[in-house]
Structures are given as C-alpha cells and as structure tokens.
Amino acid sequence: MGNPKISVIVPIYNTQKFLKKCVDSILNQTYKDFELLLMVDGSPDNCLAICNEYAKKDQRVIVVNKENEGLEKTRRVGLGYAKGEYITHIDSDDWVDVTALEKMITAAESSNADVVIAKFTRVMDRFGLLKKPSPYNLPHNFMLDNATFMNDYFIGFFGINKFSISMWAKLYKKSFIDQQNIAIGGFDMGEDLYYNIQVFPHASKIHFIDAPIYFYRFGGMTTKLNEKIIEAAIGMYNLKKKSIEQYNKSDYTKWIVIEMINYLKSYVKMMVEYKSHDQDFIFQTIDKLLERAEIKEVIAIAKDYEHYKNDAFVKALVEKNKPELVAIQTAIYNKEKFKKSLIRTVSNWLK
C-alpha cells in the first residue's frame, strides 16, 4: 500500500471535551485516502487515552505522544511524521465539514496549487450553536499567481482582512513546504501568521475555494492574564517590519502600527479584566511598555495619523496618561461583559 494522499496533523493539548467531535469529523470524510496524525503534546487530561482508542479502531490513525512543547513545535514534529503528498492542519477543539478533504484535494489537483485556501465558520459559543461565516468574499476557484498575490493579497498578513492567515482551512503541497526554510518564532500567539508569512511569498500558485469547510471555535478559554501575549505582539511587529523591508512594502507600515495600537488596547483591557484589584501592577506594566523601543516607535508614528485624530486612547498614550488609558478600556470591557453575558444566556436557552 502506497503513502496516503493527505496527512492531517492535529496538535492536542487539554481539549478532551472537544476532541471526539474533531476526530470523528475527520474520520467520517467523504475522501478516504489520508492519514490522521494525532499529536498529543504532553496533555494532562484524558486526550491520550481517547486517541489510543481511535488508533485501535482505524489504521489511518497514528498517535504520537510527546513532551509538552506548544502548538508551533508540535505542528513541526507532526510534519516530520507526515507521509502524504499534501498537508492540512486541524486544531483539536475545532471540526471540519464531511467534504473538507475532498473539496481541498480536488482544487489542489485541478490547478497544481502549492496552497489551497478554503473558507471557515466561526463558532461563537461552546455548544456550537451560534455561528458566524468568515468575512472573506473571494470568488470560487479563484487562482492567484505569485506576482498577483504579492501585489494584491500579501497585505493580508499586515492587518488587512483579505483572507484567513490561519494554518487551518488550508491544504499545502508537502513538496513545496519541504523546500522552505521555515523558522520557528517561539511566540505564544501568532504561530499561524509566523508560519504563513514565510511560506506564501514563495508559492507559485494559490487556489481559493468558496467553501466553508472548517468550524473554528472562536475565543478560547483564557481565565487569566497571559503576560507573554504583549511580547508576542511586539515580536509580530518586528517580524512584519522585517518583511516590509524584505519585500519593499513601505506602504504597509501604517497597518502594522494600527495593529500594534489595537494590541495595546486589548492588553490594557485584559489587565482590567484580570488584574483590576492590582492597580500598581497595571500602572507599572504600562510604564514598562511605554519604555519599549517598538512601542515608542509606534506611538511616534500613530500620533500623526488622521486615523487617530480623535482617538482618546492614542492621545493618552502620547501623554503617558495611565489612569485615562485604564478608564477608557474599563468602559469598553464593561460593555463587552454585558454582551458576553447575553450570549451565554441565549446559548444556554438554546441548549
């Protein structure tokens, strides 16, 4: 028996309550010629036992139990095990449509594309009842050569919603991926962007299909402040700045500045949510951020943008007005808290 056409890589960590739905959606595909690599990343829950049960029942399932290294490295380890001609990634708390593999492989083989991009659906509640379609309105079977992508769509990596920059809902030709020297970022967020911003500029053909084949659980399960998030955001800023220089896209600078300002807004709001009892911590953290060279650079550029002419948060950044920064994001957090409460009430009612 030859190698499978597709290798499906699923990194797994602490997602036992969602895992069966994910794996079942893959094993029930209309397209059958694939292997399923279940990459258990030192998960402390019952995920390994669940995966082993699937491996006993279906020879396409390969379980790799490894020490905890995080999503980015686990995906790379999975790539080392993959024997397929094509690679697709699925997160273990998500699931796919029964026709997902069939639609992506049909597109890939019809056009000899290096990458196929499909649409996805955001799942807004934990029960999978409230859904929102992805915002990208690209034509079906829309083909891009490298020059067109770099001229019109590369900007999608810089905060402009041209297409999804995720690694999921995509099919990659493995021979193409194997030729790329893809560095590991080591960030706690932005792993998908870090990977794809290195890959896509080298793709000869990129094939979009207007098929919402992937269901993405939006939001995550954060219950505390992750102080590494802002470091990752700064890392992403530096990466994008380097890419702007590498590909002569100086007009993209505006967008990474706006994106970094949005990260700052979100981070202050997170501190309000999880550290409201510790104002000294919040103020000291803001002080440290305002001393970072990247943040100083972003503020210096942003203050002259017409986009921020009436933005109270940016004005407070320029003035280093910490109480005002916190007050602005506290008001926004309180509004969002009410909205989330309403969504939970509706989803519980629909359950």
* Residue 339 pLDDT class (50, 70, 90 cuts): low
From 100-104, 122-126, 285-289, the region with the lowest mean pLDDT: 122-126
Interacting residues of 157 by C-beta distance below 8 A, sequence separation 6+: 165, 193, 196, 197, 200, 240, 243
Q: Global pTM?
A: 0.86
From the list 210, 212, 60, 54, the residue with the least C-alpha distance to 131 is 212
Higher pLDDT, 161 or 302: 302
Checking if the pLDDT of 341 tops 70, the result is: no
Q: So what's the pLDDT on residue 62?
A: 98
Higher pLDDT, 2 or 152: 152
From 216-225, 277-286, 300-309, the region with the lowest mean pLDDT: 216-225
Q: For 61-70, what is each residue's pLDDT tens digit?
A: 999 999 999 9
Cα–Cα distance measured from residue 186 to residue 190, given in angstroms and rounded to the nearest whole number: 10
Q: So what's the pLDDT on residue 313?
A: 96
Cα–Cα distance measured from residue 85 to residue 67, given in angstroms and rounded to the nearest whole number: 27
Q: So what's the pLDDT on residue 344?
A: 58
From 18-22, 112-116, 175-179, 305-309, the region with the lowest mean pLDDT: 305-309
Q: For 172-223, what is each residue's pLDDT tens digit?
A: 999 999 999 998 888 878 899 999 999 999 999 999 998 899 999 876 444 5
As a whole number, mean pLDDT of residues 230-249 equals 93
Checking if the pLDDT of 161 tops 80, the result is: yes
Instruction: Say if CB 30 and CB 3 are below 8 A apart.
Output: no
Checking if the pLDDT of 134 tops 60, the result is: yes
Instruction: Say if CB 178 and CB 184 are below 8 A apart.
Output: no
Q: What is the CA radius of gyration of the chain?
A: 21
* pLDDT > 90 in the chain, percent: 76
Checking if the pLDDT of 25 tops 90, the result is: yes
Q: So what's the pLDDT on residue 221?
A: 42
Cα–Cα distance measured from residue 62 to residue 39, given in angstroms and rounded to the nearest whole number: 8
Average pLDDT, the chain: 91
Q: For 62-97, what is each residue's pLDDT tens digit?
A: 999 999 999 999 999 999 999 999 999 999 999 999
Higher pLDDT, 171 or 337: 171
Q: So what's the pLDDT on residue 222?
A: 45
From 2-6, 83-87, 157-161, 193-197, the region with the lowest mean pLDDT: 157-161
Checking if the pLDDT of 141 tops 70, the result is: yes
**Rounded to 5 degrees, what are φ and ψ at 138?**
-90, 145
Q: So what's the pLDDT on residue 59?
A: 96
* Residue 122 pLDDT class (50, 70, 90 cuts): confident
